[in-house]
């Protein structure tokens, strides 16, 4: 029986240096030859899915943590932040002097001072992920090679918005200011978080999976999810089988059907073998 496989990108398909293990590429290509369908299911917008990922061979993607669904080039579902919400977000962040970037399928659009203010934050994020030693600086352009620094900020094509937190209170105030949005954090826990983000309320990887299954006329019993982080738990709950990477977070591991090896120790390949996908 062919399966429908959903794979998170950062920390699952790619390691913490943004490299894709050759074994993972081999696993995906072999699984598709065996008749299984493979979709990435990621927080990234389409503009952040580089050609090297598509070159693996995929049936499509779920992006923006569920706001966008694509199957073999066909857009199945795409729910955007409204222009009114987008303007409110940009104006509020400007009023708080918080630097941010806007995430859309056409690109990432940085606020006026994100490049300079963001360097210390993206460096800290890279350090926490094990990408760089403590004394090495990462520029925003290195971290986000696709970012646009002089683009229009009042937009009608937004999936998400991420912003640098100057304090945890900025996140708490965003929750109050935007009851019509899903407001979250990433890059740490509690007072140590680095970024806030805003997306469409009631959007999740789980809902996107259901939308895709309806489109495919497929059964949930044939689904398998791979992830590494807390945000992947709804995806785990939406699928019949879930696999957490050994290098992932404890919450994701606890929620998964089973835990495979680390992402850079052939974790994806070994799980595909165990599940008899290859």
Tens digits of pLDDT across the chain (278 residues): 799 999 999 889 998 677 899 999 999 999 999 999 999 999 888 988 989 999 999 999 999 889 999 999 999 999 999 999 999 999 999 999 999 999 999 999 999 999 999 999 999 888 877 666 777 888 999 888 889 999 999 999 999 999 999 999 999 999 999 999 999 888 877 788 999 999 999 888 999 999 999 999 999 999 999 999 888 999 999 999 999 999 888 899 999 999 999 999 999 999 999 999 99
Looking at residue 146, the DSSP 8-state letter turns out to be T
- Residue 15 has what pLDDT? 81
Find tokens 């918005």 and name the residue.
161
**Assigned CATH for 83-200:** 3.30.1240.10
**Assigned CATH for 4-78+203-274:** 3.40.50.1000
- Residue 131 has what pLDDT? 66
Token couple for 233? 């738990």
Intervals of CATH 3.30.1240.10 along the chain:
83-200
pTM of the model: 0.85
Token couple for 125? 């994020």
- Residue 166 has what pLDDT? 97
Please, which residues bridge with residue 71 across strands? 60, 74
Residues with Cβ within 8 Å of 34's Cβ and at least 6 positions away in sequence, in order, are 2, 277, 278
- Residue 50 has what pLDDT? 86
- Residue 127 has what pLDDT? 83
- Residue 136 has what pLDDT? 83
Intervals of CATH 3.40.50.1000 along the chain:
4-78+203-274
- Residue 132 has what pLDDT? 67
Distance CA 117, CA 109 (A): 15
88 close to 178: Cβ distance less than 8 angstroms: yes
Buried b / exposed e over 237-271, threshold 16 CB at 10 Å, is ebbebbbbbbbbbeebbebbeebbebbbbbbbbbb
Please, which residues bridge with residue 168 across strands? none
């Amino acid at each position: 029986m062919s399966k429908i496989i959903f794979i998170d990108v950062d920390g699952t398909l790619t390691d913490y240096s943004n490299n894709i293990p050759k074994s993972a590429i081999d696993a995906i290509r072999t699984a598709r030859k065996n008749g299984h369908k493979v979709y990435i299911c990621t927080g990234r917008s389409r503009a952040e899915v580089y050609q090297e990922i598509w070159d693996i061979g995929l049936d499509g993607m779920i992006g923006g943590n569920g706001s966008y669904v694509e199957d073999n080039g066909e857009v199945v579902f795409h729910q955007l932040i409204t222009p009114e919400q987008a303007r409110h977000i940009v104006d509020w962040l400007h009023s708080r002097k918080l630097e941010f970037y806007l995430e859309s399928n056409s690109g990432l659009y940085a606020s006026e001072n994100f490049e300079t203010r963001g360097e210390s934050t993206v460096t800290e994020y890279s350090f926490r992920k094990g990408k760089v030693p403590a004394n090495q600086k990462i520029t925003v352009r290195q971290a986000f090679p696709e970012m646009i620094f002089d683009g229009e900020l009042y937009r009608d094509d937004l999936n998400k918005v991420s912003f640098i937190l100057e304090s945890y209170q900025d996140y708490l105030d965003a929750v109050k200011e935007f009851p019509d949005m899903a407001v979250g954090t990433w890059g740490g826990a509690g007072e140590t978080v680095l970024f806030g983000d805003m997306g469409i309320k009631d959007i999740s990887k789980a809902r996107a999976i259901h939308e895709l299954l309806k489109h495919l006329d497929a059964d949930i019993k044939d689904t398998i999810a791979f992830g590494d982080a807390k945000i992947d738990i709804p995806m785990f709950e939406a699928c019949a089988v879930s696999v957490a990477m050994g290098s992932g977070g404890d919450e994701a591991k606890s929620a998964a059907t089973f835990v495979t090896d680390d992402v850079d120790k052939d974790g994806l390949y070994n799980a595909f073998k165990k599940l008899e996908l290859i």
